[in-house]
Amino acid sequence: MNRRKPGLIIADLFCMLLLIGVDQLTKYAAVARLKYKPAIPIIPSVLELSYLENRGAAFGMLQNQKILFVFVSLLIVAVIVSLLFRLPPQKKYTILHVLLVMIAAGALGNTIDRLRLDYVVDFISFVLIHFPIFNVADIYVTVATCILAILLLFYYKEEDLNFLAFFNNDSQP
């Protein structure tokens, strides 16, 4: 089995920390500029910045289930870290590598909020379609997961994904 070089794992960590930092910085700005204030229109009647303390999951589901969200998030991050260690170093896996880092960073960004504040700071609102308010970490997870699904369905072939077999026996011929 191919192992990722230590430099690539360090790059993973650096990118993850950078993405988490951007997420946390935007949430800090949202608290400082939006909390207890009216929404700020970016594109009138389409997009605005509006502060929300989300104690649930996507679309406000499962309110006040902090322990469940933290557990699931950390489990997902553990699986992603395991995959990053197993990810072959070939160039065709670079996009997969980036997408996994984005998903982990998004999950950790929201987990930091849940652990620190007991809620997630959301502030981006598409008022045109009355879409639930979200944040930068949610963008990481949503965009990366959609692209990942497309790649798994249409780009990668079954033999490209052999590294996913966690319990394969490397001693078999």
Catalytic residue numbers read: 122, 138
Strand 47-54's sheet: what is its strand order?
Answer: 40-43, 47-54, 120-126
**Distance between CA atoms of 132 and 122, rounded to whole angstroms?**
9
Cross-strand partners of 54? 120
Q: How many Å apart are CA 18 and CA 13, to the nearest integer?
A: 8
The 8-class DSSP code of residue 171 comes to T
- Coil vs helix vs strand at 88: coil
Alpha-carbon gap, residue 100 to 109, rounded angstroms: 14
**Residue position matching structure tokens 């490397």:** 170
DSSP annotation string for 109-126: HHHHHHHHHSSEEEEEEE
Helix (H, G, I), strand (E, B) or coil at 168: coil
